[in-house]
Chains A and B, each alone.
Chain A
Amino acid sequence: MNKYLIIFILFLTSIKANALIEVDITRGNLNPLPVAVSPLSIDENSKKNFKKILKKNNIGSEISIIIENNLKTSGLFNPLDKDAFLQTPDIANLKPRFEDWSLIKAQALITGKVSYVDEKLRVEFRLWDVLAGKEMMALAFTTVPNNWRRIGHMITDKVYERLTGEKGYFDTRIIYVAEEGPKTNRKKKLALMDQDGSNNIFLTYGNELVLTPRFHPESQMVTYLSYFQNRPRVYLLDIETGNQEVVGDFPGMTFAPRFSPDGKKIIMSFAKDGNSDIYTMDLENRIVQKITNHPSIDTSPSYSPDGKYICFNSDRSGYQQIYIMKSDGSNVKRISFGNGLYGTPVWSPRGDLIAFTKLHKGKFYIGVMRIDGSGERLLTENFYQEAPSWSPNGRVLIFYRETKTNDKGEGFSAKLWSIDLTGYNERLVNTPTDASDPSWSSLLSN
């Protein structure tokens, strides 16, 4: 990921401090902002070169489609039908005729230009406020041609941030478990894809059971549970090199791994003699620290973004509940008190909320609560769903669902779903096979 060059050229013109168009993402959005995403203009010579290198007829159009799809899936924007556009891409990029665009009810307009320069892909884009008739943002990116999809995602992030005031989440990846086969003998592989479902690849072959993969906050490393040689242990995998190693030298099952926010430690559960406690291991000096010390099951640990606290799942009160403690294991406090069982707590990257899975009266819920346990809000209910993971801006949750089977055990499927923090915009996330255990990366461009 660090091998290719991305040069960021900023040429800011008339950026207003207070946006005229604003999108409020704190409440359910029933009026997505109409936005026109013009295909990016491209000169004939560049078009020919990119067609040769990337096998795409019109890379300007392709990039605009990525932006369009991203904006649409966010649920906050309504990209307008291109067939209604009156201005051609090259003219629109230079000087849009705002009347033409407001005629089709666009409030925001994205235009741009793609060129082939020094064997690189250069993309300029502009964001326009149609009603005010003003340019809101102008940026350019230069990178290797193979990175064209990421440019589309990065542009979306910039537009999203400009219009909502929040950082975007489009230049990200999802790691998950790809599943196939009958329920009684499921074949599972680690899989990785862009957040929009593209560039899906498998990282393992499916010969051993793999579960719960999680991203390192910065680098291309992943931690997960593998049953390699029938010994369930937490592993570390470098995506780029394919190198795998067992984490630590534990004489029993380790599971439920995550990275600390600074990426220096792995936190996980270790089970022995019927008891599961939470441990950390420093990746540099390999020092292992025991964090919980209780005869109950302590698992699913998740750090606060500042690394000072840990939320986790424990049945020390009799049944699965959510607790928080300081990162050294002191000050353990229960925070879930509603009716039902609580599991899979995950601390939001914004630090203000903890998402969780709840089981009550035979139904599964994905919900959030404040870090003191107050303000519990259930976002969605289903026959079976669990394991929410936060987008890096703390606004969207991805999780997975499984369906019921009939008497013959048929009809089983597992799929990834996402939902906004507001409870709106619940949608299926496309994967080539059945899928579970999703985990969202941080922004790649950080």
Chain B
Amino acid sequence: MLRIRNIDQGAIMKINKILKNAFLITFAAVALSACAGSQKAGQMQSDVYTGTDTVEYLASGVKDRVFFATNETVLTTAARETLRKQAAWLRKNSKITIILEGHADERGTREYNLALGERRANAAKDYLMTYGISSDRISVLSYGKERPVDSGSSPLAWSKNRRSVTVKAN
């Protein structure tokens, strides 16, 4: 049976205050982490894109691309892991040939970016070769900054564009 009692007004105010504080603290925590924005876990780390918004899959669990820091062509740990999975898939599907498309973000001069894209794609190619994929299965194509995947003008958008993408050629 439901018992209706006169609830103490002071008690209500106290509970409201606790709830309000709790709400404010939660709100602040969410707001602060949102302000951290692109540095939030899963988006960018040390200028390298770590998210999956633009990632496609060559096969289940095999991401089609790796990302780079500004002006860098060095493969990150995550990049090497992705490429090892690609190599395993390519070993299993030995008839497949691929094109590695290298890209740069727009924050650089056009011609240098063409060379940078080529170097990035070659970094991926060299790594795949160390995992047993023959170089005649791999061709390299640089697009420089000509084919961004994200047309925004923010560090996060730019980080998505600094990439080497593996594309099936046949």
Question: Which residues of A are interface residues toward B (Cβ below 8 A)?
Answer: 182-186, 209, 211-212, 225, 230, 232, 252-253, 255-256, 269, 271, 273-276, 297, 299-300, 313, 315, 319-320, 341, 343-344, 357, 359, 362, 383-384, 386-387, 402, 404-407, 409, 412, 437
Whether A313 touches B111, Cβ cut-off 8 Å, given contacts A183-B148, A183-B151, is: yes
Q: How far is the CB of A376 from chain B (nearest CB, A)?
A: 17
Docked pose: A300 CA to B111 CA in angstroms: 7
Number of interface residues of B (CB under 8 A): 30
Whether A319 touches B71, Cβ cut-off 8 Å, given contacts A297-B119, A404-B153, is: yes
Whether A437 touches B110, Cβ cut-off 8 Å, given contacts A276-B115, A405-B152, A409-B152, is: yes
Docked pose: A406 CA to B147 CA in angstroms: 18
Whether A184 touches B147, Cβ cut-off 8 Å, given contacts A232-B142, A405-B153, is: yes
Is there contact, CB below 8 Å, between A255 and B151? no
Is there contact, CB below 8 Å, between A359 and B115? no
Is there contact, CB below 8 Å, between A255 and B150? no
Q: Which residues of A contact B116 (CB under 8 A)?
A: 297
Docked pose: A406 CA to B107 CA in angstroms: 16
Is there contact, CB below 8 Å, between B112 and A313? yes
Is there contact, CB below 8 Å, between A412 and B151? yes
* Number of residue pairs A-B, CB distance < 8 angstroms: 103
Among residues of A, the one whose C-beta sits closest to the C-beta of B101 is A230
Partner of A184, one of B109, B119, B142, B148: B148
Among residues of A, the one whose C-beta sits closest to the C-beta of B153 is A404
Q: Which residues of B contact A362 (CB under 8 A)?
A: 107
Is there contact, CB below 8 Å, between A276 and B118? yes
> What 0/1 pattern do residues 41 to 83 of B give for CB contact below 8 A with A?
0000000000000000000000000000001010000000000
Among residues of A, the one whose C-beta sits closest to the C-beta of B73 is A274
Partner of B151, one of A182, A319, A320: A182
Docked pose: A180 CA to B118 CA in angstroms: 25
Is there contact, CB below 8 Å, between B111 and A256? yes
Question: Which residues of B are interface residues toward A (Cβ below 8 A)?
Answer: 71, 73, 106-112, 114-116, 118-119, 122-123, 126, 140-142, 146-154, 157
Is there contact, CB below 8 Å, between B148 and A384? no
Q: How far is the CB of A228 from chain B (nearest CB, A)?
A: 13
Partner of B108, one of A252, A255, A275, A343: A343
Is there contact, CB below 8 Å, between A320 and B147? no
Partner of A297, one of B115, B146, B149, B157: B115
Partner of A232, one of B114, B150, B152, B154: B114
Whether A359 touches B147, Cβ cut-off 8 Å, given contacts A232-B114, A253-B118, A271-B142, is: no
Is there contact, CB below 8 Å, between B109 and A320? yes
Among residues of B, the one whose C-beta sits closest to the C-beta of A400 is B110
Q: List 19 A-B contacts (CB under 8 A).
A: A184-B150, A256-B114, A269-B111, A273-B122, A274-B73, A274-B118, A274-B122, A297-B116, A297-B119, A299-B114, A313-B111, A315-B112, A359-B108, A383-B153, A384-B106, A402-B106, A407-B152, A409-B151, A412-B151
Whether A299 touches B142, Cβ cut-off 8 Å, given contacts A184-B148, A407-B152, is: no
Whether A357 touches B71, Cβ cut-off 8 Å, given contacts A211-B146, A273-B122, is: no
